[in-house]
Amino acid sequence: MASHLPFQLMISSERKMCSLFRRAVRNLESWHHDRAAFRYEVALLRARFDEIKMCKDRDPDVFNQLLKNEEQELFKYQHWQPKKWPKTIGGNAYGRVPVIPDWVLDYWHPLEKAQYPKYFATREKRKEEFIKMWEEEYGKPDVCKGGHH
């Protein structure tokens, strides 16, 4: 259910500036494949942000306007295909690791289980402990006879 009241998080100006700087650096990283050119552009960017930081104490209105201008410039020059880390959402390795549920091991063939006797002995012991704990806490399940409730 959406609220009819306008809502905006109150974020400090330092956090806004750090976030904007980080996003601008990531954008530069997408544009420059040569490390030397990238580092040069980051140094220039850092100098611009240091100048903006100096304005913060003197005139907050100018500071906010300069941050807004940098935000607009970042939007204007954003890369058409931004660089993403492989395991982040949108990265090429996102969601690749399958999460296999534990019950799959119950369907292993006895010859497969025989290759790991200690593991499966411990697993069976843990399953029995879990069933005992469950029955103590919730009681034994009601089994319906003949499929009728």
Is the separation of the CB atoms in 95 and 102 below 8 Å?
Answer: no
End of a domain among 62, 77, 92? Answer: 77
Nearest-angstrom CA–CA distance, 77 and 85: 20
pLDDT in tens, 51-80: 998 887 788 888 889 999 999 999 999 999
Q: Which domain holds residue 31?
A: 13-77
**In-domain check, residue 146:** no
Q: Which pairs count as long-range contacts for 37-43, CB under 8 Å and 24+ apart, including other chains?
A: none
- Radius of gyration (C-alpha) of the chain in whole angstroms: 29
**Residue percentage of the chain with pLDDT more than 70:** 89
Q: Give the total number of structural domains in the chain.
A: 2
| 126 compared with 145, residue with greater pLDDT | 126
The reply to whether 67 and 107 lie within a common domain is: no
Nearest-angstrom CA–CA distance, 77 and 80: 9
The reply to whether 73 and 106 lie within a common domain is: no
The reply to whether 73 and 124 lie within a common domain is: no
Q: Which residue, 24, 129, 134, 122, is CA-closest to 70? A: 24
